[in-house]
Amino acid sequence: MFQKLLAWSPGFLICGLLLLFCYTKNHFYLLLGLAAILQMIALNPLYKCAAWAAGVRSPRPDTPTSNGMPSGHVSTFSCVLGLCLLFKDKVSAGWILLLGVWTALVAWQRISSGRHTVPQVCGGVTQGAFDASWITALCVSMLVV
């Protein structure tokens, strides 16, 4: 049951962030929610295609015909966590700690359930951190945040 909840966690994260924005009117939560949506819908599939085109063949353990590099769940959480760490004046330390623990649990769930390998999860962490950095640079250059 717990693993199934973790499998749905990117959806919970996105809904939670957008609800926080509606409740608090804090635009930072909207930025986080939009970054998570962008990560899941556009960036991760783009990275998977680029990895495949570059010859990085890393099939998922449970679906050998599907490319598992990088893990989309982990990259989404890593991106949101990275944004929170880069803008730590916008969120509380408790929120950052909760998100860090949740990210670690999602990474563990993806490996223990046989959906991804350790290198695929590490690739997701790397992708999320990279995306958080360029999203931050874009926001700062536009003075949005």
How is the chain split into domains, by residue range? Answer: 2-51+67-142
> Cis ω on the peptide bond leading into residue 70 (within 30° of 0)?
yes
Query: pLDDT tens for residues 37-92?
Result: 998 899 999 998 998 888 888 888 888 888 888 999 999 999 999 999 998 888 88
Nearest to 81 by CA among 63, 67, 64, 102: 102
Confidence of residue 2 (pLDDT cuts 50, 70, 90): low
Handedness of CA 63, 67, 69, 72 (dihedral sign): negative
Q: Which residue has the tokens 């880069």?
A: 86
* CA dihedral over 28, 79, 85, 103, signed as positive or negative: positive
Q: Which amino acid is at 72?
A: G
d(CA 58, CA 116): 9
- Where does the pLDDT of residue 144 fall: very low under 50, low under 70, confident under 90, or very high at 90 and above? low
Rounded to the nearest 5 percent, the helix, strand and coil shares of the chain are: 75, 0, 25
